[in-house]
Structure 1
Amino acid sequence: MESHDLRIFKHVAELQSISKAAELLGYVQPNISQRIKGLEEELGTKLFARTNRGVTLTDEGKVLLEYTHHILLLMDEAKSKVNPSKWRESLIIGAPQTISAIKIPQLFSSFLKENKHIDVKVKTATNRKLQEMLSYGEIDGLFLIRTANRSQFETVYSYLEKMVLISPEYHGIEEKGNQTLLINSDPHCVYRDKLLRFSQENNFDQPIIMEFDSLESILQAVHDGLGISIVPADVAYSRKELQVFQYQELPEAIQIDFVIRKRKLKRQSLKQFIRFLEDRSPLE
């Protein structure tokens, strides 16, 4: 077995699609199919069952996938140990915009002081997309507000995040009519849900809803007097340009979890990051 074939097999298995794997890897589909066929012939067993929706692993394929994760991880670590100047250790972390805006820079400004040999990448997307990326092995771990797949993920660190209602300085929150709610377009965003519930609990009269794809757009919209929103307290208090805002800190906080895939073998850079998090105060 060649490592390149195992990497192709891993992508097909995690994406459950030969065509998607081909697109991701930049190959034509017949090339991927031929590689998988050659691997199956070498091992003398079927690795995938073909379906109308794509492919699923056979029992033999599941066994090979677990070994593939171990083999590729060890190969990457071996390269970084043998020639660290060429093959640096890597760590890929996922986080929604609300967390990547402040918390991620704060954490890594400390972590990288003692781990300068690690290259860090931060992927930002919706909660659902991030969980898919973690399931497929595209990221090593992620900061998550709602852990949906507890059977596949494990939580290794948690902290509490306060929330703040922000509005233009001249804006009256007590005015129940003509309120405009500025929310994230992600239907699973906890701050979106909180703002919508806040408007209901305070009997806002048919508020106008404006959706944005980014946290920065929401902050700018509040700054320009378009309406109100709920954001992490760290974000609200860290922006000098937000001094023209009114702040109303909400009584409850939300728990943020750092989750990884349930797997015995972890890359060394992830182990170091987990140890770094564990040394911090729990739920700080």
Structure 2
Amino acid sequence: MESRDLWIFKHVAELQSVSKAAEQLGYVQPNVSQRMKFLENELGVKLFMRNNQGVTLTEEGAVLFEYTNRIMRLMDEAKSRINPQKWRETLTIGASQTISAIKIPQLFSFFLREHQHIDVKVRMNRKQRLLEMLSYGEIDGVFLSGTDHFPFETVYSYVEKIVLISPKHHPIEKQKGQALLVHSDPNCIYRRKTLGFTKEHGLKTSSLLEFDSLESILQAVHNGLGISILPADVAYSRKETDTVQYQELPETIKIHFVVPYRKKQSQSLRRFIHFLQSIRVSKL
């Protein structure tokens, strides 16, 4: 196998499309198809299942995809160790939109002061997709909530306060007619907290409105449309004192940073884990 073929394979697998991979790489589509066919013949297995929407990985393809990501990371690490002036270390972290809105920029503003030679990428997605990316080696680690992280290892945790935000002209005990504003991800912990709070307190609401954007939720509350529970740092970062009221809740949420269990870690990831374990996030 040639590294160039693995690089093409990686793009096809991630984009789930030969044509999109060809466009992104600057190749013509027949050449990409030919290289993938050559790779399948060399390995003696089908790597992709083809359909009208594009391609998806077979079981064998998923195994190769995991190894490809590991190979690419090792190649990048080797180049950065051999010639750090030309090749920089990289660190790719995953997080949900709510976590990455405030906490991630805070963390990296401190981390990069001592590690300016590292290029950091943050991938935002839904929890299940982030765990898939972590298992395939697409990202180095993930910030997420919850307790079921098998087969991953938790290397750092911190506690996050949560706040109920609601329109100021609608007292919380009289929220009849107000909508519940939640993230569209069904696994979002703040979505579940919002739904649980209204049920526990017997609040009668008019409807459930789902958003893909955290900013949209904040703006909807500002416009008097409904209520939502969000991380305290996110809620207070855009404090609309004239239109929004804030009720800090006694419950907290624990956020974990997880990495693949017992797998070789890149030097940049080891540096980041050491940084996390040497600070107290609450003081950032």
Q: Quote the Cα distance in structure 2 between the aligned partners of 1:141 and 1:104.
A: 12
Partner Cα distance (2:208, 2:69) in 1: 45
8 Å Cα contact 1:158/1:283 also seen in 2: no
Shift of the alpha carbon at 1:28? 6.1
Question: Residue 196 of structure 2 aligns to a residue in which SS?
Answer: helix
Match of 2:44 among 37, 43, 46: 46
Check whether the contact 1:182–1:209 (CA below 8 A) recurs between aligned residues. Answer: yes
Distance (whole Å) between structure 1 residues aligned to residue 175 and residue 67 of structure 2: 60
Look up the equivalent residue of 1:56 and give its one-letter code.
T
Question: Match for 2:90: what amino acid?
Answer: S
Residues matched between the structures, number: 276
1:157 aligned residue: 156
Q: SS of the counterpart of 2:174?
A: coil
Q: Judging changes above 3 Å, is the alpha-carbon distance between structure 1 residues 118 and 148 closer, same or farther for their aligned structure 2 residues?
A: same
Alpha-carbon shift at residue 22 of structure 1 (Å): 6.0
Matches of 2:183 and 2:68, distance apart in 1? 38
Structure 1 equivalent of residue 217 of structure 2: 218
| Corresponding letter in the other structure for 2:20 | E
Change in Cα spacing, 1:212 to 1:10, as seen in structure 2 (3 Å) is closer
Give the conservation status (yes or no) of the 8 Å contact 2:79–2:87.
Answer: yes
**Range moving further from structure 2, 124-133 or 90-99:** 124-133
State the distance in 2 between where 1:156 and 1:107 align: 15
Question: Alpha carbon RMSD of aligned pairs, Å?
Answer: 3.2
Q: Partners of 1:115 and 1:208 in 2: how far apart?
A: 47
Give the counterpart letter for 1:200 in structure 2.
K
Distance 1:68 1:124, change over 3 A: closer
Identify the range of structure 1 (226-235 vs 206-215) with the bigger mean alpha-carbon deviation.
206-215
Aligned mate of 1:23, from 4, 20, 23: 20
Task: Sort the Cα spacing of 1:195 and 1:68 in 2 relative to 1 into closer, same or farther, 3 A.
Answer: closer
Could you say if the C-alpha distance between residues 24 and 154 of structure 1 is closer, same or farther in structure 2, counting changes exceeding 3 Å?
farther
1:85-116 CA-to-partner distances (Å, cap 9, x unmatched) read 33211111111111111101110111000000
When residues 71 and 170 of structure 1 are mapped into structure 2, their CA distance, relative to the original with a 3 A threshold, is: closer
1:98 pairs with 2:98: yes
Q: Structure 1 CA distance, aligned partners of 2:136 and 2:121? A: 17
Pair 1:38–1:107, CA change in 2 (3 A): same
Is the 2:66–2:137 Cα contact (8 Å) retained in structure 1? Answer: no
Distance 2:67 2:135 in 1: 16
What residue ranges of structure 1 are gaps of 5+ in the alignment?
none
State the alpha-carbon separation in 2 of the partners of residues 208 and 170 from structure 1: 19
Distance 2:172 2:107 in 1: 34
Distance 1:177 1:128 in 2: 34
How big is the shift at 1:11?
A: 5.8
Is 1:250 the counterpart of 2:225? The answer is no
- Distance apart, 1:283 and its partner CA: 9.0
Residue identity in the other structure for 2:158:
Y
Report how far residue 118 of structure 1 moved.
0.8
Deviation at 1:149, TM superposition (A): 5.3
CA distance in 2, matches of 1:75, 1:38: 22
Q: 1:176 and 1:257 mapped to 2: Cα distance?
A: 33
User: What is the DSSP-based 3-state SS (H/G/I as helix, E as strand, rest coil) of the residue aligned with 2:226?
Assistant: coil
Conservation of the 8 A alpha-carbon contact between 1:88 and 1:118: yes
Identity %: 58
Give the superposition deviation at 1:210: 2.3
| Structure 2 residue aligned with 1:74 | 74
Structure 2 counterpart of 1:184: 183
TM normalised by structure 2 equals 0.81
Contact 2:180 2:205 in 1 (8 A): no
User: By how many angstroms is 1:192 displaced?
Assistant: 1.4
Matches within 5 A, 1:74-223: 74-146=74-146, 150-151=150-151, 153-223=152-222
Change (3 A) 1:95 1:67: closer
| Contact 1:46–1:58 (Cα < 8 Å) also in 2 | no
What CA distance in whole angstroms lies between the structure 2 residues aligned with 1:136 and 1:191?
Answer: 27
Instruction: String of CA shifts for 1:217-265, please: whole Å, max 9, x gaps.
Output: 1111212222211110111223344564322111211111112223522
Name the amino acid aligned to 1:247.
Answer: Y
Structure 1 range deviating more: 84-93 or 107-116: 84-93
When normalised by structure 1's length, the TM-score is 0.81
| AA at the equivalent of 1:46 | G
Distance 1:163 1:23 in 2: 41
